[in-house]
Amino acid sequence: MISDKDLLSRQQARQLAQKAKEASHILAGFSQNQIDAVIDAVAAAADSESETLARMACEETTYGKVADKIIKNRFASRDVYRFIRPLKTAGIIDEDKERKIIKVAEPVGVVAAVLPSTNPTSTAIYKVLISLKGRNSIVLSPHPSAKKCICHAAEVMSRAALAAGAPEGSICCMTDVSQEGTQELMQDRNVSIILATGGMGIVRAAYSCGKPAFGVGPGNVPALIERSANIPKAVLDVITGKTFDYGLLCSSEQAIVCETVLKDQVTQELQKNKAYFLNDEEMIALARVVVTPTFGVNPRIVGKPAPYIAAQAGFQVPPDTSVLVAPLKGVGKEYPLSIEKLSPVLAFYDLPDFNSALDTAIKLIRFGGMGHTMSMHSQNDQLIREAGLKVPVFRLVINTPSTHGSVGLTTGLDPAMTLGCGAVGGNITSDNISPMHLVNIKRVAYEIREARQIKYSAEPRQSSADGSLEEKIAGFLTKKGYGLIEAKPEKKTTSEPGLPVPDHPATSAVSLGEHKIYPISPTKGPVEPNLTSKRQANPAVSSEKDVIGPVDFVCEEDVRSALAAKKIIAIHKKTIITPAARDLASNGNVFKKLE
């Protein structure tokens, strides 16, 4: 008999994956009516237990508020259910008569679902519903500190599914939980796809399993308040979002960014809503408690009320304090409270104008929330659209709490508890995850033209009226840093004053008709080819320019920039590397440690 906990967990993972695989074969044969009957029963059962599950989650994890966890559970059992119920996920789901294409839905198979401690039961309900809707079986891997409440949720939903005709093994849940067991589950050959919610470590592990995976990147959500906004509503929205379940959702607001002209009014509205503004000494003390030396979030303050967090930092605030507000002057390692905090702690910034406020919001996102969410409070549609074009997030929610708007509770976004952050956030998608992400689409395509009748003209395509092909190429190369200069036999001539042309052929020049193209210096015009060749001939100089640092601090954006530029970051023994940066750097040779 096996007594080792990790071995037991790994064994159970394999057994449940096999059991779920057998169930998936049966579910794959279900009609739309059959699977919808199962969904109806599971959603109703989860909804009936929403209060019990909320209390269990709070008692077991010590995170959050019971009332708000009830809302999250019902959001999954009601809003998500209402959204997915009409979706076609079985048989022929669409037919394009003009293009003569028929679309047929196929389930992916077995879903491995890794669940967090912050939103345990609501995430379990959500993942079970979207998996079953796609006619997939699911195996839940609970966070160790939320095992009891997640297993109870799985048991409630499994009983309802079986009573509605689902096969045994449609909903499985690990009870022997360990990191090794979770890893075993994700890598098991019977598992088809992974839904991972948790820290960056587990998300990276899911993506490294060699199979499709949907994960979630971290959030560092700024709330940008622009001068045309309804200020009282905007501030109330921020407080509502930040205090919901004590800030446990990764899409909750982490900072207010406003224009200086609004500072006094925003401050007054925050104080009306029981916000407590920190002085310099309190901010230093709070940062030591909230942020770990490696720039992670201290789990002891996650999902706790503001007065409790203040007491842990060594100072007292009124017992009805809603949030702790830290007025900051910058973003980065010198300002620890500018990271994601997963608690009712808000950074606060005021900037001279909208553009500088937007720049600060983008800095916050780049510091630790790429691709996730931003909220904006404004009545100026032009500025809203400008922000939509510039900010590196895939959810910009307007005039609503970001916590509620991002998941589709107060907006028209697809209701979901898993929010993709796209490639910039290291995720496979930027969507709110739905059953359609767990369904493969088969396409039946009829011939619409005979291959033997397809002929193409031998004449080259004519350029458009916008200019000749040569002019277009010249314009493109100019944008890329090259200058177009007419070649002449005279030595040291110029096409424009101050733009010398090399007096001899060079490998760095490119011919274009009667012209030569040379690299352009931003200040001096075309670069002399002999200078370019000298720089390339000196590998020592080149290698030095490929190394950044040594540096004292590295965040995720630093690693992302180094990877894009194919450079190395030099670090030393005391360099602080944020967890997100370390995880991202694990995919490439980024760091060079100095002795």
Q: Supply 34's token pair.
A: 């059959």
Cα–Cα distance measured from residue 22 to residue 168, given in angstroms and rounded to the nearest whole number = 9
Please count the CA atoms within 13 angstroms of the CA of 138 that sit on its side-chain side: 29
Buried (b) or exposed (e) across 475-486, using 16+ Cβ within 10 A? eebeeeebbbbe
Q: What is the pLDDT of residue 4?
A: 81
Residues β-bridged to residue 419: 432
Q: Which of 173, 250, 258, 421 is catalytic?
A: 250
Residues forming CATH 3.40.309.10 domain(s) in the chain: 221-417
- If residue 483 lies in a helix (H) or strand (E), which one and from where to where? strand 482-486
Size of the chain, expressed as the number of residues it contains: 595
- Residue 484: beta bridge partners? 517
Distance (Å) of CA 86 to CA 36, 39, 80, 163, 435? 9, 11, 11, 22, 11
- Write down the pLDDT at residue 464: 54
Q: What Rg, from alpha-carbon coordinates, does the chain have?
A: 28
Q: Phi, psi (5° rounding) for residue 356?
A: -70, -35
Helix or strand holding residue 47 (H, E): helix 32-48
Q: Which of 3, 556, 61 is nearest to 296 (CA)?
A: 556
CB proximity list for 177: less than 8 A, separation 6 or greater? 9, 141, 142, 143, 144, 147
Tokens of 328: 């900051």
Can you tell me whether residue 10 is helix, strand or coil? Answer: helix
The pLDDT mean for the chain works out to: 88
Domain 221-417 has CATH 3.40.309.10: yes
Residues 6 or more apart from 232 whose CB is under 8 A from it? Answer: 269
In this predicted structure, what is the pLDDT of residue 468? 61
Q: What is the C-alpha separation between 563 and 556, in angstroms, rounded?
A: 11
| Residue 210 CB neighbours (<10 A) | 8
| Most distant CA pair in the chain, distance | 91
Tokens of 505: 């052929």
Give the residue range(s) of CATH 3.40.605.10 domains in the chain. Answer: 5-215+436-443
CATH topology of domain 5-215+436-443: Aldehyde Dehydrogenase; Chain A, domain 1 (3.40.605)
CA nearest neighbour of 551 among 587, 519, 591, 589:
591
Give the separation between CA 560 and CA 89, rounded to whole angstroms.
Answer: 38
Strands of the sheet containing 171-173, edge to edge, are: 171-173, 137-141, 110-114, 193-196, 213-214
Q: Which amino acid is at 345?
A: V
- Low pLDDT (below 50) residues in the chain: 487-507, 521-542
Question: Is residue 250 among the annotated active site residues?
Answer: yes
Q: What pLDDT is recorded for position 525?
A: 46
- Please give the pLDDT value at position 538: 35
pLDDT in tens, 531-570: 333 333 333 334 555 888 888 888 888 888 888 888 899 8
Residue pair 128/158 in contact (Cβ under 8 Å)? The answer is: no
The pLDDT of residue 498 is 44
